[in-house]
Amino acid sequence: MIKKERRYKRMHEISLLRTIPYSDHQRWWNADTIAVVTGANRGIGFEIAHQLAAHGITVVLTSRDAEVGEEAAKVLQEGGLNVAFHQLDVIDHDSIEAFTAWVKETYGGIDILINNAGVNFNFGNDNSVEHAKQVIETNYFGTKYLIKAMIPVMRPSESGARVVCVSTRLGRLNGRRNRIANEAIRKQLSDTANLTEEMIDDMVALFLKQVEDGTWESGGWPQSFTDYSVSKLAVNCYTRLMAKELSARPDGQKIYINCYCPGWVKTAMTGWAGNISAADGADTAVWIALLPPDQPVTGKFFAERREINY
């Protein structure tokens, strides 16, 4: 009991720290606003769900593991927050289909989607591509599958629906660290005007092929956190692609999609080696999701509430 009371007190303190000082006319959301957060049973996802719910939004917390997801939702519910749980495995098409049907039946649709679910098997300074296929499938294809499933159920509004993808600076095309050395790939993926989903899929397919035949090190791929970096590069490119497609929608049906880097967060995914708290890592995702309607932003990459280059 004492442990739970301490956790509730900590959550309340975080809520106070993370309050976004919007004026009444900027506050476009209310208790009827529905936000879905994937992979939210722990870490950054849990904190994003907590912070959104603390702003008065109804949050659907999802997790691949139903038992741990239900427990995470219960913790937030017992803290007085409006949080529901539903099982969701982003790489299982049947799971996505069942979740989509449940969302439509229960809420009629959603307003915010936070794509947080992901995996990483490289901790510290170690590098490996042993799990490359699983990392690409979960981080890139899982994100893409869910975005495609949720777009039709994102509710039209004057404020616009919001999609935020949790990514990393390691997946930047033009970053000074860990960038792709293959100039042809970099040039192709940098050309947003001509970028296609097939190009992104072809890029990850080439990477996986070179992993399989043992030539990835000479293929110009990032030399640290390789599979994770490539998976998030694909997410970043897909975010820009979807922003271009969704920006053509008429007013009232807009969907704004952006990605962000939470930083080196101290969570299970980093082997607890990070130097940023999960609460700090979640902050920018919530900030992007709740930007005022008079500040529409789409297709951008953020870190620490600032736009950075892809």
Q: What is the pLDDT of residues 207-261, one digit of tens each?
A: 999 999 999 989 999 888 899 999 999 999 999 999 999 999 999 999 999 999 9
Report if residue 16 sits inside a domain: no
**How many whole angstroms separate alpha carbon 35 and alpha carbon 7?**
23
**Domain count across the chain:** 1
Residue bearing tokens 């092929």 = 209
Report if residue 91 sits inside a domain: yes
More confident residue, 86 or 122: 86
More confident residue, 307 or 267: 307
Confidence of residue 264 (pLDDT cuts 50, 70, 90): confident
The pLDDT of residue 276: 82
Confidence of residue 182 (pLDDT cuts 50, 70, 90): confident
- Residue 298: which residues within 8 A CB-CB, separation 6 or more? 243, 246, 247, 256, 257, 258
Residues noted as catalytic: 228
Tokens of 97: 């289909």
Tokens of 45: 């996802």
**How many whole angstroms separate alpha carbon 129 and alpha carbon 225?**
8
CA 267 vs CA 10, 39, 85, 168, 204: distances in Å: 17, 13, 21, 15, 26
What percent of the chain is modeled with pLDDT above 90?
Answer: 74
Tell the burial category of 171 from Cβ atoms under 10 Å away from its Cβ (0-12, 13-18, 19+): buried
Report if residue 10 sits inside a domain: no
Report if residue 81 sits inside a domain: yes
> How high is the mean pLDDT of the chain?
89
Which CATH number is 246's domain given? 3.40.50.720
The stretch 107-122 carries a mean pLDDT of 94
Poorest-confidence range of 76-90, 124-138, 188-202, 260-274?
260-274
Q: What is the pLDDT of residues 7-31, one digit of tens each?
A: 444 444 444 445 555 555 579 999 9
> Does residue 140 have a pLDDT over 60?
yes
Report if residue 193 sits inside a domain: yes
Tell the burial category of 102 from Cβ atoms under 10 Å away from its Cβ (0-12, 13-18, 19+): middle
Confidence of residue 273 (pLDDT cuts 50, 70, 90): low
CA nearest to 156, candidates 274, 24, 246:
246
> Cβ distance 51 to 283 under 8 Å?
yes
The pLDDT of residue 179: 77
Strands (E), the chain: 34-37, 58-63, 83-87, 112-115, 161-166, 255-261, 301-303, 306-308
The pLDDT of residue 224: 83
Report if residue 138 sits inside a domain: yes
Residue bearing tokens 């609460």 = 279
- Residue 67: which residues within 8 A CB-CB, separation 6 or more? none
Residues spanned by the domain of 121 = 30-308
> Does residue 5 have a pLDDT over 80?
no
Report if residue 18 sits inside a domain: no
**How many whole angstroms separate alpha carbon 261 and alpha carbon 44?**
11
Q: Please count the residues of the chain.
A: 310
Report if residue 90 sits inside a domain: yes
> Does residue 271 have a pLDDT over 70?
no
The pLDDT of residue 2: 40
